[in-house]
Amino acid sequence: MHTRTLGQGLKVSAIGLGCMAMAPGFYNPAPERQAMVRLIRDAHRMGVTFFDTAEVYGPFISEEIVGEALAPIRNEVVLASKFGFGYNGSSVTGRNSQPAHIKARVEGMLGRLRTDRIDLYLLHWRGSVAPT
């Protein structure tokens, strides 16, 4: 698989896997969790090293699936996740990109992703996901 460099040295596969549709509520009914874990691992076996998710997908479900799938191969992949929303439990309450909120969100993300780092941490684009 061809690679690309993001920023100053983050080397990723030319094709990445976006994991939004692995959670219920985005364009599809809830896929079977273990099928999504297998899909992620199969993508890696085929050379994909870049995986993208966000806490708002599910909310939280996509990160849990990605974390489960990538835990055994975490050091072989680049993981991106996104922030920018406030929550009441698992309900999105609106946008929130205040520094204190971001710091608080990271801890939960690290746990769900089963990792000690997020390689690429992004603010969700304005208007990308409507609060429910």
Neighbours of 66 (CB within 10 A): 30
Residue 117 included in any domain: yes
- Answer yes or no: is 86 within a domain: yes
Identify whether 42 is part of a domain. yes
Q: Please check whether residue 129 lies inside any domain of the structure.
A: no
Q: Active-site positions?
A: 57
User: 98 in a domain, yes or no?
Assistant: yes
Q: Which region among 14-28, 57-71, 78-92, 98-112 has the lowest average model confidence (pLDDT)?
A: 14-28
130 domain residue, yes or no? no
Is the separation of the CB atoms in 54 and 22 below 8 Å?
A: no
pLDDT at 29 over 50: yes
Question: In this structure, is residue 28 part of a structural domain?
Answer: yes
Q: How much of the chain, in percent, has pLDDT values that exceed 90?
A: 75
User: The domain containing residue 74 runs over which residues?
Assistant: 3-123
Instruction: Assess contact for 23 and 56: CB atoms under 8 A.
Output: no
- The CATH number assigned to the domain holding 91 equals 3.20.20.100
Give the number of domains in the chain: 1
Task: Name the band, by pLDDT with cuts 50, 70 and 90, for residue 24.
Answer: confident
128 inside domain? no
In the structure, what pLDDT confidence band is assigned to residue 28 with cuts at 50, 70 and 90? confident
Q: Which of 30-34, 48-52, 96-100 has the highest mean pLDDT?
A: 48-52
